[in-house]
Amino acid sequence: MENKAHALAAGLFLLLLGLALAASVAWFQGDRTARVRYTVVARSGVPGLNLKAPVKLRGVEVGWVDSIGFDPEDPRQILVGIVVDAAAPVAATTHAQLGLQGVTGLSFVSLEEPATSAPLQRAQPGARLALKPTLLDRLAESGPLLLAGFAETAERLNKLLSDDNRDQLSRTLARLDQTAADTSRLMAALQPAARELPSLLKNADGTAQQATAALREIQTLAADGRALAQDLRARAAVLDRLDAAAQQVQATSRNLELALVGDTPQRTRSVLADVSAASRSIERAAHELGEQPQSLLFGRGAQPPGPGEAGFADRLKTGAAK
């Protein structure tokens, strides 16, 4: 009986010890962290996403996927329930994306926030977060358009690389090669002229200076010419006044001669004759100065021969020929 009692006591002790160990393990392994539930709304598929898949916020794991199912109100939407640590800073503007876990093909939920400097406004528990497509999803959606564009580009390349175009391209390349060779020869021919160019520029500079000096001299001569022209105009005005005075003297002498003809004494007639001759001389001198005003500066030119003088017959012939 005593052996049975000892065995029963040992069994009870072991059972109680096991229960105590199990309770201790449950106590230490129990998760007492406060959690918040959110719902991720996906308009497209969620490939590779499973239950208990991790949920990460900016690369830090903050929860897991609790449920996956279709929206009963809109079957085109997929509702993904996630459980997130209450201390995680999930903002009202946070959105979700699917990320790949290495090369396994499995996905996890990545919570992302737009870059902003505004104060953090936490999302309410149970709020719905939009699932935005990733770069691969956008590429998959635009894949048919890309393929169509590639096909059109390939068709245009085939047309561009036709036999005729290839022949024309070959001819164009040959012409370019010939043009390059001609350009090289031209550059080689221009090198001597280029080496002489500095000296030519120096000569051109000297020529320009000489031209400037010549222009200054021309300006000086032009100023002298203008002064000479003014002097000649003044002398011409004097000659005009002299001519007018001569004509007036001649008219006066004629009037006196007419008035005194018949009963004028011989001495008065001689005086009048002298006055008339002087007036005619003044008129002739004024006429000659009017025809040759340069005689005031350069002297009187040679007079043409008169009747009986040598050269008069040649003068008459020349005048008849004209």
d(CA 298, CA 290): 14
Instruction: Please give the model's pTM, rounded to 2 decimal places.
Output: 0.39
Q: Across 138-147, 160-169, 262-271, which has the greatest mean pLDDT?
A: 160-169
Biggest CA-to-CA distance, the chain: 217
Give residue 12's pLDDT band: very low, low, confident or very high (50, 70, 90). confident
> What does the pLDDT average to over 242-247?
66
* Cα–Cα dist 85/64, whole Å: 9
Please report the pLDDT score of residue 89 as a whole number.
86
The tens digit of pLDDT for each residue in 110-133 reads 888 877 777 888 888 888 898 888
Q: What is the mean pLDDT of the chain?
A: 75
Which tens digits make up the pLDDT trace of 95-111? 888 888 877 778 899 88
- Domain borders along the chain are 35-133, 233-302
CB 95 within 8 A of CB 82: no
